[in-house]
Structure 1
Amino acid sequence: MSRYPLLYQVNTRVWLTELAHQLKRPATLDDIPDAALDRWAAAGFDWIWLLSVWQTGAEGERISRTNPEWLKEFHETLPDLRDEDIPGSGFAITAYDVHANLGGDVALARLRARMKQRGLKLMLDFVPNHTGLDHHWVADHPEYYVPGTEQDLAREPQNYVRVKRQAGDLVLAYGRDPYFSGWPDTLQLNYGNPATQAALIGELRKIGRQCDGLRCDMAMLVLPDIFEKTWGLPMQPFWPQAIPQVRELVPGFCFMAEVYWDREWELQQQGFDYTYDKRLYDRLRDRHARPVREHFWAGLDYQNKLARFLENHDEPRAAATFPPGVHEAAAVITYLSPGLRFFHQGQFEGRLKRISPHLGRAPEEPKNEQLAAFYDRLLAALHDDSVRNGDWQLVECDSAWEQNETQDNFVVFAWQHSSGERRVVAVNYSDQQSQCLAHLPFGDLAGQGWQLRDCLSEDLYHWNGDDLVHSGLYLDMRPWQAAIYALEPVKS
């Protein structure tokens, strides 16, 4: 495994729908072709995250197919929407068993074995905050859920539901976060009940045998202060108990947290290997270089555990968010920084329409050939040991000449590997031509010539090492221009 691995997120149900169309029959995980696994391995990916493989229920499907607000979004994605395109949210889970329509647990095990042969690790989902409406715990262990009263239901129908059971109806809370109404296809788990936490740890230990890592949905919602703020119920910390118990069973098991609200460091300290870096994404989206650069002032003990992304199933498509030029510049900054490099299916092809996790089919969209060629070059550049296993440093940039303040538009990184490989990553993250002097942190540049070869364009420049040491690397870059320079000595 690389020091800074690459992850590829796959919308499993959507992909199998496409395969079924090609095969002219229902497709399962067994139908995922070896050629696709080979491509992922050759592209340099370490992790494949299969989204939405778990069993979901009829109630979740029914609500997804009838909720007016959701249907409006689904029709915007698929103008020819049909009921069969809406299998229900993959996060309204009724059992941590692989969905029967995907081939069940045995098909996942066979796929994982094929992935392992190619050095690919498997990541799946865990949803700690809630379950689907028709999870068997509703009948067997209603005490695992946050209860409500008739008064709660009357006052907050958007947050509570009457659940019909043979043993008697109950009012239970929908799963939610404190800033939005409840998700009406889910029920909120009660972390104030130690038995609930024990049951969830049991689920985690079971899942730990089926994959190599888990992406934990909205992991901060079960932090004690957030849970108590939302529900008025005290709880004992969950993650510091759960994570070690899984790793006791499966040493080295990986946990990645979807997390917001500046709780990333806290969850890292509680055992997570990686936490979402939404802050970098937001700053890149705002298109100002200085806040982006300041984000990299954080220590590497924190940065090395950040999952860097430009899109995922929750965010709008990168090609719809970042215009041409800005997209490529943002990608170079995102994926040439330290941490986990997180890519999403459809990102390379420039897809524009986000696909809700409730849907099982994607719209047909043309491939953006220019963007695809850029990502091919970027992935090739990410093969280098310097940026996969090397040492990273943010580079200081000075004004190129007096009264020229455009150095503030630059984000520049340096990478170095013990093998001698070096890379200089330079991005003018602005809409104006900009210049700077970048002070490279390499101590042996003097006394010889150096060439800088751009891995993205094959542009080649020659520099005198003494000038690099005493003055710095002079950069004069177009708006949104990005380069990944291989720094190599000139042979005499």
Structure 2
Amino acid sequence: LIGLWERSSASQKIKQMCGNPDAVPSAYSLYDYTIAEDLGGELAYENLRHRAWQRGIRLAADMVPNHVGIYSKWVIEHPNWFVSLDYSPFPTYTFNGVNLSDDERVGIYLEDHYYNRSDAAVVFKRVDHWTGDTKFIYHGNDGTSMPWNDTAQLNYLNPEVREAVIQTIIHVARKFPVIRFDAAMTLAKKHFQRLWFPEPGSGGDIASRAEFGLTREQFDAAIPIEFWREVVDRVAQEVPDTLLLAEAFWMMEGYFVRTLGMHRVYNSAFMNMLRDEKNDEYRQLIKNTLEFDPQILKRYVNFMNNPDEETAIEQFGRDDKYFGICTLMATLPGLPMFGHGQIEGYHEKYGMEYRRAYWEEYPDSQLVQRHQREIFPLLRKRYLFADVENFLLYDFYAPEGHVNENVFAYSNKSGNERGLVIYHNRWADARGWLNASAAYLDKNQGDGVFVQRNLGDGLGLQNNPEVFTIFRDQISGLQYIRNNREIHESGLYIELSAYKYQVFLDFQEVRDNEWGQYAQLNGYLNGRGVPSISEAIKEIFLQPIHYPFRELFNPGMFNWLLINRATLGRADHDHIQITITEAEQKMRHLIREINKLIETQADEELFAEATHRELETTLGLMLLPQKFPEDEKIYHEIVQQIAPESDPAHWSVLFSWVFTHNLGKTISETEDFSERSRSLIDEWLLSKIIAQTISGLDLPADGVQKSLKLLKILVAQQNWAEGLAGNKKSATTLLNTWISNPEIQEYLRINRYEGVLWFNKEALDTLLRGLLAIDLITTLSDPEITIDEMNTRNQRSHKLIKKITMAAKNSDYQVDKLIEAVK
């Protein structure tokens, strides 16, 4: 929480007089460490703390220990606590402007040239109106740019100041379990002396301070203990559950953690080096840390932007580079920190003097969704990535033999769970092997002992040629399989294009079975990923069935049937009969292989003959008016409904139904074989082959899935018309049965909105067309019934379907009205 403390009113006055009428005081120019009244004060804080605690959220507060506001409680009451002079350090400085103090006891004056931006003075003037005492107090300053003109620099040589700041930190810690210290590196002894009391001869980074230099001995006598070391120890003693987080730049991160004991420290190198693609430097930084003390890594706070930097989307964009580096942030040891507006993709930099956003921006929904899809699942696994006990960084060797420094690859473990992350931070292609880890200091083996491990050891995998490891890429969702011995000896071969990344999770080891199927699959995939390894193994087992099934199901055959179906019945239709005979033979082959695989005794001839009859019937559906001339008008109506000329999706479903609806009879000859046939489409993994065939007819992807869903419904419902004779079934009964079926509910997109149950009329029309068509095919292909019986059955089914179709037209797409209209 930045900006929750009472701010200095002088900060607002300065900004407004310098040309920003909407400005509010800076969050880094504070009057006092009390909750700001304009935010609701102490009561608002208590309310927020209570609500956050109920939701398991810990509040973190920002603190600025280097300085206070130019007008602040301490400047008014303790003028001697600041770096100051009794005279102006430069004679050109003038202080004739507005009194910025709201306290009549003291006058505070900014150097005049600030208002016209012609100079940046290092001091401001404080006048005690009661005593006449005048001091020139230095502005806060880190020596890198201009002074912070709305602040006053505290003098840490004064032990009273150090104690006052420590007491303030303890006060804040009692309110907030996490504290972030702004610009903490400026208070390290090394830098505080460099800035304010430089060693003689060193020059100095702040104008006029060189003449006030101290020797190292003098400075150490004034500050015998590092301030931050004292803070960490006192907080541990007095408020022990507080997490201290330091913003420490200038390559001070390791020192703050290792020597000063800071719990967490900002790792600005993460943002800067990865943004600028100084990949070799950042990998070397990690390696150096691993060799010095791996524990330091988990103390880093990694971020892609903060309030002092440009927004993440400005620095990293919104595409693969951003998400690749965000993936590193989410999976490296340490603490990932997201900046204001980062997930939403805001471009406006968050100003500390802003009361409101100046740009009208809205969350980038695609960016948010990609975070939800790729990043948030990784954040829920921080337990796997946060620690360093099992962290290993790997070198990525290109085929030419050199290390590709642009690829970050590392693994981690927690219990039996493992993770492997690989990211390529360069606009180029990368391919190669990762196996050998970088060296790390292993304190368990004594001082100065460095250890390197291979990937197999790093992931804790058995070194056994009979064992295979299956793992999943969190980003693509694909699963992979590798032989354990190969992982130990060679590692993993990886190919990544520009800014691509993989996060391998869900590692599991399996021992090969007696048929060597995992070895077969490993060889067949040759490193490729698949949606499901278990399905891929099943596919290997089912290959004897899949091969003849693909003979029936392929785009070439279906296209040929679609093109030539109209020629059946003509004098030159012999080529159609040849194709029907070929389909009969292919079905015979399929049943033969099914018998072998599942050890059944299904009659190949019965299946082949049924296929011949039903395919011939399907291809001749448009000839029904000629077949039943006495009822030609009715059959013209039927043909118009069930045999549309330009609908390849409809025809592909009918062809598919002919080839699949009897499969259940290979296992069960009972009346419920239809449900068995439906389940075998899934159990034997036939859906993929069917979908590939239908997609080869140039249907859109959603059309392929709709056709597949319809096929499964028609296979399960193939006996729907049984019982219509004698009115044993009514339209109402059938409709209620269908609507209560989960698969049909999904297909019809039945949903409840504002208390009304709705359906999709187009989907219902397609379903009814299919149901009528398969019943006609079944009836017309039955060799044991007469023409008259066929005619009676066909008209009965048509009449019922027509009744439901007409009811649908008058239902306003509402299920209840549809059922009522059918009665």
* TM bucket, shorter chain: 0.7 to 0.9
Give the letter for the 1:51 counterpart.
I
- Aligned counterpart, 1:436: 432
For residue 104 of structure 1, what is the aligned residue in structure 2? 41
CA–CA distance in structure 2, aligned partners of residues 316 and 152 of structure 1: 35
Which runs of no fewer than 5 residues in structure 2 stay unpaired? 94-110, 112-120, 198-213, 436-454, 514-823
Instruction: Give the 5 Å matches for 1:127-138.
Output: 127-138=64-75
The one-letter amino acid of 2:397's match is S
Quote how far apart the aligned CAs of 1:106 are: 2.6
Which residue number in structure 2 is paired with residue 162 of structure 1? 125
Q: 1:480 deviation in Å?
A: 0.5
Amino acid at match of 2:309: E
User: Which residue type is aligned with residue 192 of structure 1?
Assistant: L
Shift of 1:373: 2.3
Q: Which residue of 2 aligns with 1:63?
A: 14
More strand by share: 1
- Following superposition of structure 1 onto structure 2, how do residues 41-120 of structure 1 map, counting pairs within 5 Å? 50-67=1-18, 71=20, 83-84=21-22, 86-120=23-57
Q: Which has the higher helix share?
A: 2
Match of 2:502 in 1: 483
Aligned to 1:272: 262
- CA separation of 1:223 and 1:443: change in aligned 2, threshold 3 A: closer
Q: Which runs of 5+ in 1 are unaligned?
A: 1-49, 72-82
1:313 aligns with 2:307: yes
Aligned residue number for residue 4 of structure 1: none
CA distance in 1, matches of 2:429, 2:168: 55
- Superposition pairs of residues 168-317 of structure 1, within 5 angstroms: 168=132, 169-232=134-197, 234=219, 235-236=222-223, 237-268=226-257, 269-297=259-287, 298-299=289-290, 300-317=294-311
| Counterpart code for 2:391 | Q
Structure-2 separation of matches of 1:173 and 1:289: 40
**Which whole-Å CA distance do the structure 2 matches of 1:399 and 1:200 have between them?**
51
Shift of 1:335: 2.4
Larger Rg belongs to: 2
CA distance in 2, matches of 1:148, 1:113: 46
Q: 1:88 and 1:387, CA in 2 relative to 1: closer, same or farther beyond 3 A?
A: same
Could you say if the C-alpha distance between residues 469 and 91 of structure 1 is closer, same or farther in structure 2, counting changes exceeding 3 Å? same
Q: Which AA in structure 2 matches 1:88? A: P
How far apart are residue 155 of structure 1 and its match? Answer: 5.5
Of residues 470, 479, 488, the one that matches 1:460 is: 479
Within 5 A, what are the aligned runs for 1:366-385?
366-376=362-372, 377-384=374-381, 385=383
Q: d(CA) in 1 for partners of 2:9 and 2:405?
A: 55
In the aligned structure 2, how far is the partner of 1:138 from the partner of 1:189? 10
Distance 1:128 1:390 in 2: 31
Q: Structure 1 residues 197 and 155, CA, compared in 2 at 3 Å: closer, same or farther?
A: farther
Change (3 A) 1:408 1:231: closer
Deviation at 1:185, TM superposition (A): 0.5
- In the TM superposition, what are the counterparts of 1:308-457 in structure 2 within 5 Å? 308-323=302-317, 324-362=319-357, 363-376=359-372, 377-384=374-381, 385-388=383-386, 391-401=389-399, 403=400, 405=402, 407-418=404-415, 420-439=416-435, 440=455, 441-445=458-462, 446=464, 447-457=466-476
Identity %: 24
* TM norm structure 1: 0.82
Contact 2:138–2:153 (8 Å) recurs in 1? yes
Query: Structure 2: how far apart are the matches of 1:410 and 1:489?
Result: 25
Q: Deviations over 1:78-111 (max 9, x none)?
A: xxxxx34x21110101110010011112321221
Contact 2:295 2:388 (C-alpha < 8 Å) held by counterparts: no
- TM-aligned CA deviation for residue 490 of structure 1: 5.7
Shift of 1:365: 1.6
Task: Return closer, same or farther for 1:53/1:461 CA change in 2, 3 Å cut-off.
Answer: same
> Which string of whole-angstrom CA distances, capped at 9 and with x for unpartnered residues, describes residues 83-141 of structure 1?
34x21110101110010011112321221122222222111011111101221222211
Counterpart mapping for 1:17-32 below 5 A: none
CA distance in 1, matches of 2:283, 2:340: 28
Cα distance in 1 between the residues matched to 2:402 and 2:425: 14
Give 1:214 deviation, angstroms. 0.9
The Cα offsets for residues 41-78 of structure 1, whole Å up to 9 and x where unpaired, read as xxxxxxxxx1110001221111122335xx5xxxxxxx
Amino acid at match of 1:294: Q
Equivalent residue number for residue 753 of structure 2: none
Report the Cα distance in structure 2 between the residues aligned to 1:220 and 1:381, rounded to whole angstroms: 31
Q: Distance in 2 between matches of 1:116 and 1:348?
A: 24
User: Which one-letter code corresponds to 1:54 in the other structure?
Assistant: W
Task: Answer yes or no: is the 8 Å Cα contact 2:61–2:178 preserved in 1.
Answer: yes
Decide whether the 8 Å contact of 1:313 with 1:354 is kept in 2. Answer: yes
- For 1:361 and 1:182, the matched residues in 2 are separated by 25
Give the conservation status (yes or no) of the 8 Å contact 1:391–1:417: no
Contact 2:180/2:245, CA 8 A, preserved across alignment: yes
Normalised TM-score (structure 2): 0.50
| 2:128 alignment partner, SS class | coil
Work out whether 1:122 is the aligned partner of 2:45: no
- In structure 1, distance between residues paired with 2:483 and 2:506: 12
In structure 2, what residue type is equivalent to 1:295? L
Letter in 2 for 1:474: Y
Q: Contact 1:129–1:218 at 8 Å: present in 2 too?
A: yes
Q: Aligned AA for 2:247?
A: E
What does residue 34 of structure 1 align with? none
Contact 2:29 2:151 in 1 (8 A): yes
Secondary structure of the structure 2 residue equivalent to 1:151: coil
**Taking CA–CA contacts closer than 8 Å with sequence separation of 6 or more, which of the two structures ends up with the larger relative contact order?**
1
Cα separation, 1, equivalents of 2:90 and 2:123: 5
CA distance in structure 1 between the partners assigned to 2:326 and 2:354 by the alignment? 27
One-letter code aligned to 2:472 = R
How far apart are the structure 2 equivalents of 1:270 and 1:390?
20
2:633 corresponds to which residue?
A: none
Question: Is the 1:208–1:250 contact (alpha carbons within 8 Å) kept by the matching residues of 2?
Answer: yes
In the alignment, structure 1 residue 474 sits paired with structure 2 residue 411: no
CA distance in 2: counterparts of 1:99 and 1:438, whole angstroms: 54
Change (3 A) 1:467 1:290: same
Q: Which amino acid aligns with 1:407?
A: N
Amino acid at match of 2:262: F
> Contact 2:140–2:148 at 8 Å: present in 1 too?
yes
Alpha-carbon spacing, 1:364–1:193, altered in 2? closer, same or farther (3 Å): same
Structure 2 counterpart SS, 1:180: coil
Contact 2:418–2:459 (8 Å) recurs in 1:
no
Would the alpha carbon gap of residues 184 and 395 (structure 1) be closer, same or farther in structure 2, given more than 3 Å must change? closer
Q: CA RMSD in A?
A: 2.1
- Report the alpha carbon displacement of residue 142 of structure 1 after superposing the two structures with TM: 0.5
Paired with 1:189 and 1:195, the residues of 2 have a C-alpha distance of 11
Q: Any runs of at least 4 consecutive aligned residues in structure 1 with deviations exceeding 4 A, and if so which?
A: 388-392
d(CA) in 2 for partners of 1:392, 1:346: 33
Alignment coverage as a number of residue pairs: 427
